[in-house]
Structure 1
Amino acid sequence: MLHNGTGPERLTKRHLVAVSHAIERAALATAEDGPLLVIALFQRMPYFARERARYQRIAAGAAVTVVGLVGDAPPELPGAYGVLLDDADELAREWSLVALTPRFGAALVARDRREVEVAATLEAGRLFDGRWGFRRDEALHEALRLRTRLADRLPGPALRTIDEVLGRVRELPSTPGESRAEAAIRLLAERAGRAATARRAEEPAEAGLVDEPALRRWTGLDGVTASGTLPVALIGVRVAEPAGTPERFGRRSAAREAQAVIGALTAPLRPVDRAVRLAPDEYLLVLPSVTEEEALATAGRVRASLAGLARSYPFVAFAVHAAVTVTDRRPLPVADVRHAVRWAAREDVPVATLARGHAPAGRR
């Protein structure tokens, strides 16, 4: 992490996007302080694809540009060096960006926590531990670290150019007044962050049960998202009256039943979770950043809450079946979970687990 005398900060993706764009804008600015070195780690291809045009302009003006990410093939960009990261590599969890010249430096280094906070979308709420700054010597430190970590994956010409830039940077002292400029930049960033927080506070809060378009927006299907980053638990729940249940009359009673069912389904959920009704008797709970054990425990609490409705007049005992999976796939495998719930109901399995690429298995 950046060596600025303090520990890492808790940063959201929204914050990192703003800082990254500021560093990229600085790299694109016309200046006579070259040569310019840029190293960027994007985690996954969809995030780089969104910024490809900007990095093509950066590569056209830089002495050397390196882009690293996890994928099926290295990123291709004219004038840049693409590096393919292994999913098990620690660098795969980094969102890092360094821009460095003999007279300028800026760096952002953040590690994915694979957690979220409440936000408009799952992507916007992703959390990282990291630091950022606009001090040349700190950017030099990070450039040296990344050069060492990527050395065995870069060709000779790239390493030689990187070393030439680093050599030029070492020849000159850092610019006086960097701390003053960074203090001003941080003030602007903090004010922008407070304004964004205030805007979110004014937005209406999501209800415990959202509709499918709202779930689609929240899970990022209408924006940029990527597999392999944030684990999400999906709990499919089927709530049906057993066959042979006598027909009951009264709209008011039916409405109270429906509300009671929704209350039992959403009671165990955290503020970052969502629930959606997929069919009259079928629901989906979406819980980001939980383990399978935690998801199964939540499914158990939901089943217990629904069973408890039988003690309240005029409710009947519902037949409740569930299916649970934890996945980092995008888009989320909702269809697979629905299939598993139907299998659980057909086989009378209380809770089925669904491993990626496998048929559902029963749990009692």
Structure 2
Amino acid sequence: MPHSGRDPRRSTKSSLVAVSHAIEQAALATTEDGPLLVVALFQRRPYFERERLRYARIAGAAAVTVVGMVEQLPADLPPGVTGVPLAGTDDLAREWSVVALTPRFGAALVAYDRGEVEPASTLEAGRLFDAGWSFRRDEALHEALRLRDRLADRLPAAALAGWDAVLHRVRELPATPGESRAEAALRLMAARAERARRRPVPSGVEPSAEDRPALLDEPAMHRWTVADGVTASGTLAVAVIGVRVAEPAGAPERFGRRSVARETQAVIGALASVLRPVDRAVRLAEQDYLLVLPALTEEQAVAVAGRVHESLAGLARSYPFVAYAVHAAVAVTDRRPLPLAEVRHAVDWAAREGVPVATLARQSAAAGRG
């Protein structure tokens, strides 16, 4: 955090959700140390909607509750919640922050989106942030002051006056003794939980699904990309590569079904060889595959498509009588859901026109909002 004196740590979203919920739960605790200020930057609206009921409860207990997000603010914010719109170009748009402050208590999480991922159970859970958090009142005070400076000109007069009243009251009283002891215990528990999550797979044990590239079916791919869960456009670029691997006509009749099955496994192995641990692939049809590769530029994605061609061409050493025709289509987007139908249509076009690698125009959430 900017005022903590500690360097930010690279953390996954799944680990930071636990911290943010702990801060919110502390804000909901029944105490007599008010007034309470709560400020939260959610990046995008779907993340707020997941916590809507929690923030309705917080607003019922707090003197001031402020939430910020990119995109149009909900017209039906809970009573007592003040919304602040953020521009997509504002550096606050990539910040996920939660601050709770009273005269006797304070806690803050400040996380900056890296636009990267690491292997996790879902694409969303593996998003990476540079983050810091604290359960010390004076550090929360510093964050409340920083956010006030950034948001003051966007706040209604009543919300700003209430914010300032909390700050004035906090400054009147010293911080509570023993904060460092409580925070040390919290950090120990958080560190142990994170180490347990990251524990390496012992030698000889099959890696779990999140530790290796996986060939999924379509329902599993849908769950991994969280297309029907809490995910938002505009936060993470993802490359989607459709691949059609067509064998010569009559191959099953000439070489036998058993040989074709071995060749199919060889094709899957060749496709998997280009994947990173964070990537996933799905077999859509007998000859069609889809690769999903987070946090790649278009140039990098096109290079991966080129490696797909090289890897499949290498199968000729093992299957010299089977010359595969390979066509691919590449899209890079930060929209959700992913443009799977568009990529499949582009693969059809590439195969029909004999194009090795077709590219779709980049799809941006910002452009989509008009």
TM-score class, shorter: over 0.9
C-alpha distance in structure 1 between counterparts of 2:5 and 2:88, whole Å = 31
Q: Is the 8 A contact 1:37 1:63 kept in 2?
A: yes
TM-score in terms of structure 1 length: 0.93
Alignment of 1:117-156 (within 5 A): 117-156=118-157
SS at match of 2:7: coil
Look up the match of 2:59.
59
Query: In the alignment, is residue 349 of structure 1 matched against residue 350 of structure 2?
Result: no
**Residue 204 in structure 1 maps to residue 208 in structure 2:** yes
What's 1:278 paired with?
284
Q: Secondary structure at the match of 1:115?
A: strand
Name 1:93's counterpart in structure 2.
Answer: 94
Q: 1: CA distance between counterparts of 2:357 and 2:38?
A: 50
Aligned-partner residue type, residue 223 of structure 1: G
CA distance in 2, matches of 1:171, 1:114: 40
**d(CA) in 1 for partners of 2:94 and 2:325?**
42
CA 1:207–1:150: 2 relative to 1, 3 Å? closer
1:289 to 286, 295, 301: 295
Q: Distance in 1 between matches of 2:118 and 2:7?
A: 20
What does residue range 242-281 of structure 1 map to in structure 2 within 5 Å?
242=248, 247-281=253-287
> Which consecutive unaligned segments of at least 5 residues does structure 1 have?
359-364
**Contact 2:36–2:64 (CA<8 Å) still a contact in 1?**
yes
1:237 corresponds to 2:238: no
The letter for the 2-side match of 1:212 is E
User: Shift in Å at residue 246 of structure 1?
Assistant: 8.9
Instruction: Label 1:184 to 1:248 Cα distance change in 2 as closer, same or farther (>3 A).
Output: same
How far is 1:228 from its partner? 0.8
1:1-364 superposed matches below 5 A: 1-74=1-74, 76-197=77-198, 204-205=208-209, 208-242=214-248, 247-356=253-362
Return the letter of the residue paired with 1:70: V
TM-score normalized with structure 2 length: 0.92
Superposition CA RMSD, Å: 2.0
List per-residue Cα deviations over 1:127-151 (Å, max 9, x = no partner): 1001000001100000011011111
Alignment check: 8 A CA contact 1:37 1:100 kept:
yes
C-alpha contact (below 8 Å) 1:2/1:132 kept by paired residues: no
Per-residue CA deviation, residues 228-252 of structure 1 (Å, 9 max, x unaligned), is 1111100000111245879423232
Q: Verify the 8 A CA contact 1:97 1:107 in the aligned structure 2.
A: yes
1:67–1:198 CA distance, 2 compared to 1 (3 A): same
Q: Distance in 2 between matches of 1:4 and 1:153?
A: 26
Give the 3 Å change call, closer, same or farther, for CA 246–118 of structure 1 in structure 2. closer
Residues of 1 paired with 2:114 and 2:90: CA distance? 15
CA distance in 2, matches of 1:275, 1:213: 12
Structure 1 residue 289: Cα displacement: 0.6
Whole-angstrom CA distance in 1 between matches of 2:273 and 2:62? 54
Instruction: Write the distance in 1 (CA, Å) between the matches of 2:304 and 2:316.
Output: 20
Q: Secondary structure at the match of 1:279?
A: coil
Greater displacement, 144-153 / 349-358: 349-358
Q: Percent sequence identity over matched residues?
A: 73
